[in-house]
Amino acid sequence: MRPDYVETIYSRSIYTVLIKVLSFSTAWIPFSVAECLLVLFAVWILWQAIHGITQLFKKKRNIRNLFTHCVVNVLTLTSLTYAINIFLCGLNSQRMPIADTMELDTSPASSSELKALCVDLITEANALREKIDEDENGVMRLKYSKSKTLSRAYLGSKKIANQYSFLSAGSCNPKAVGMSSLMKFFALRGIFTPFTGEPNVSLDLPPAAIPFVTAHEIAHQMGIARENEADYIAYLSCRAHPDIDYQYSGAIEMLKDLLPYMDGISLKELAPSLAPGIKRDLAFNSSFWREKTTSTKQKVRVKILRAHLKVHDTMLKLHGEPAGLKSYGMVVDLLIAERRLKKSASEERLAKVAPTSPLND
Q: How far is the CB of 220 from Zn ion (least distance, A)?
A: 6
Residues in the chain: 361
- Per-residue contact track with Zn ion, 203 to 242, x per CB under 5 A? ------------------------x--x------------
- Reported as half-sphere exposure (CB side, CA atoms, 13 A), residue 280 has a value of 16
Q: Using CA atoms, how far apart are residues 198 and 111, in angstroms rounded to an integer?
A: 39
Nearer to Zn ion, 124 or 227 (CB): 227
Which contacts qualify for 92-95: CB closer than 8 Å, 24 or more apart?
92/6, 92/10, 92/11, 92/15, 92/223, 92/224, 92/225, 93/225, 93/226, 93/319, 93/320, 93/321, 94/1, 94/3, 94/6, 94/320, 95/3, 95/6, 95/7, 95/10, 95/11, 95/223, 95/225
Rounded CA gap, 261 and 257, in Å?
8
Cβ closest to Zn ion, residue 139 vs residue 254 = 254
Please report, as a single letter, which amino acid is at residue 155: L
User: What does R_g of the chain's alpha carbons equal in angstroms?
Assistant: 23
CB of 200 to Zn ion, least distance (A): 11
What's the min distance (Å) between Cβ of 227 and Zn ion? 5
What is the closest distance, in whole angstroms, from the C-beta atom of residue 218 to Zn ion in the complex?
Answer: 10
The nearest distance, CB 298 to Zn ion, in angstroms, is 26
Our CB check for Zn ion shows the closer of 122 and 218 to be 218
Name the residue nearer to Zn ion (CB basis): 256 or 279.
256
Closer by beta carbon to Zn ion, 227 or else 321: 227
Residue number with CB closer to Zn ion (227 or 243): 227
Min CB(273)–Zn ion separation in Å: 30
Distance of closest approach, residue 268 Cβ to Zn ion, in angstroms: 32
229 versus 338: smaller Cβ distance to Zn ion: 229
Least Å from the CB of residue 174 to Zn ion: 13
Total residues in contact with Zn ion, by rule CB under 5 A: 2
Distance from C-alpha of 326 to C-alpha of 184, rounded to nearest angstrom:
20
Q: Which is nearer to Zn ion, 227 or 338 (CB)?
A: 227
Residues that bind Zn ion (CB under 5 A): 227, 230
